[in-house]
Structure 1
Amino acid sequence: MTLNQRFLLIRRALVRYRWFYLMMLPGIIYYIVYHYVPMGGLLIAFKKYNLIKGVWGSEWIGLDNFMTVFSSPDFLILLKNTILLSIYRIMFNMLPDVLLALILNEIRVQWFKRVIQSITYGPYFLSWIIVYGLVFSFLAPDAGLISSWWRGQTGDTLNLLTDKDFFRPLLLLTDIWKNTGFGAIIYLAALAAINSELYEAAVVDGAGRWRQMWHITLPGIREVFVLLFILRIGHILDAGFEQVYIFLNARVYEVGDIIDTWVFRRGIEQLDFSVAAAVGFFKSIIGFILVLGANKLAKKFGSSGIW
């Protein structure tokens, strides 16, 4: 096929599907403006950024910002806390999404199903500030409902918000409560796409509800589960900044301080934008490598992966 023929095919496709491309245009412009153009700011990671001189006028210092990050005495602790929290989220937060979707899928009374969906979806639309306020109303050392009940029963003061052993479980529990309902929506969509004839054939063969779930439902959502797992692996260095920053206090820094909270203090509070950009660049490279590795591993186990 000659170059002119290829050009004609492309032109015909553009004319034929012009309305589809037109509908894609706002999304393309959004990603270009807010995701690709800002990538030019990565130059800050290799410079001693000065607000007055700007990106191009600032002094070029090479990898000094990265060395500052890696030589920090807190870096290994931050990396450990970040990875542990992310692994805990992957291990304990993905299964509740699947479980809730399976439960909702089995409910046959539609009004009851809608009520359960509304109750479980609702917390997702609350900000972490509100969630922390609710947690504080239960666990505040002096006036919390649970703390007051515990003090009345035992005479001891219960201070779970500053307990290092309870901080990570608290993050996981609140994240499950807030996001499980919304996460189940994706699996419900996958369940709706399963061919109903498969269930009819299974009933004819004498399969019960558990057998149908094991041999039809779970394989039907496997690809979605693997896809979300790969995406979460790629964000393993993003341990949920907003939640951690709001729940964090000085007594739990040892187990709760993560890379993003450190970057916020260093980049925003201390105006050290260069070091913050270096950390962001480092996280992006690690995330990219992990996504490639997880996708390749998923294909070896029979999944289609992301691409």
Structure 2
Amino acid sequence: MPGFVQMLIRDYRLYVLASPGLLFFLIFKYVPMWGLLLAFKDYSPYMGFWESKWVGFKYFEELFRNTDFPLLFRNTFAISLMNIFLFFPLPIILALLLNEVKKQVFKRVVQTLIYLPHFISWVVIVGICYLLFSQGDGVVNKLLVEAGYSKINFLSNPDTFWFMLTTQSIWKEAGWGTIIFLAALSGINPELYESAQIDGANRWKQAVHITLPGIRSIIVILLILRMGSILEVGFEHIYLMTSSPVSHVADVFDTYAYRSGVQNGRFSFATAVGIFKSMIGLVLVVLANKLSKRFGEEGIY
């Protein structure tokens, strides 16, 4: 114990520096976790938390026996997989391309332009999408008609709905995702590139044999963390894009929990849905972490 006190006194500046982040996680992440008990109670706002009856796994059983469960799981998992396979690699590619730009002014301008969509609300982005692609008076359909083509149903086509969601996510967040990879690229020893140039390696070979291995650990860690939120596909985004023609491909766990749980005052059921999503993410993080260690990476723990 005295050694721990001495360490606190010696490094108190570091702990003061870290305290805002620690307080954030303590107040907004750990303290609210007592609310997970709602999933095991028949919670009523009028009776309060302590007076509400314990019901065990009743709401989990209701979720699994629901006829909509396979559809919800399919939609949520499919949208998340599209984000992983189409969206996740793009920030890496953008970071590699920006890393090759030598003109600093041009590089900063491009970075600023691709960062900006991150700060735009989903409400604004979906509004822009409707202005561009709506079948009635959308700009794109007007141009198609003037060019002699027929209108295309972009927003109400179930076959392209998932792709539309993914492209919007890419436009909004791909640029912002390059920040971590650009930081990792800046940590690669420049002498490695100089040695490769002496050996006759071109830019492509340098990228394959130096750049990508240099950021491989960061890529693996971010991919593992992405597994933890695999069933988090963005409630606000999907809720704003959902319409009657695409409801059977747009309904995910988040929208279902909001519609069946929050709107109907069934907070215990909504909490049970959230716990189920978190457990799936936890299992996938553990499996992905073990798999990464099998391939020689350190993982996240």
Using the size of structure 1 for normalisation, the TM-score is 0.95
How far does the alpha carbon of each residue in 1:132-170 deviate from its partner, in whole angstroms, 9 at most, with x for none? 111111111111111112233446342211110111110
> How many Å apart are 1:258 and its aligned residue?
0.6
Matches within 5 A, 1:1-307: 7-154=1-148, 156-307=150-301
Q: Distance in 2 between matches of 1:78 and 1:9?
A: 53
Partners of 1:222 and 1:264 in 2: how far apart? 38
Q: What one-letter code is carried by the residue in structure 2 that aligns with 1:200?
A: E
Give structure 1 regions of 4+ aligned residues with deviation exceeding 4 angstroms. Answer: none
State the Cα RMSD in Å.
1.2
Deviation of 1:196 (Å): 0.9
Higher helix share: 1
> Could you tell me the percent identity over the aligned residues?
42
Distance 1:26 1:187 in 2: 25
Q: Which amino acid in structure 1 is aligned with residue 121 of structure 2?
A: S
SS of 2:299 mapped into structure 1? coil
Equivalent-residue separation in structure 1 for 2:176 and 2:27 (angstroms): 28
Partner SS state of residue 50, structure 2: helix
Q: Could you list the per-position Cα deviations for residues 63-82 of structure 1 after superposition, in whole angstroms to 9, with x for gaps in the alignment?
A: 11111111111111001100
Aligned residues: 301
Deviations 1:207-249 (A, max 9, x none): 1111111110010111111111111111111112221111111
Residue 4 of structure 1 aligns with which residue?
none
Unaligned runs of 5+ in 2: none
Whole-angstrom distance in 1 between the partners of 2:241 and 2:37: 32
Give the Cα separation in 2 of the matches to 1:83 and 1:232.
13
SS in 2 for 1:165: coil
| Paired residues of 1:43 and 1:55 also in contact (CA < 8 A) | no
CA–CA distance in 2 between the matches of 1:156 and 1:210?
A: 43
Distance 2:104 2:149 in 1: 47
Question: How far apart in 1 are the matches of 2:261 and 2:218?
Answer: 36
1:151 touches 1:158 (CA, 8 Å); kept in 2? no
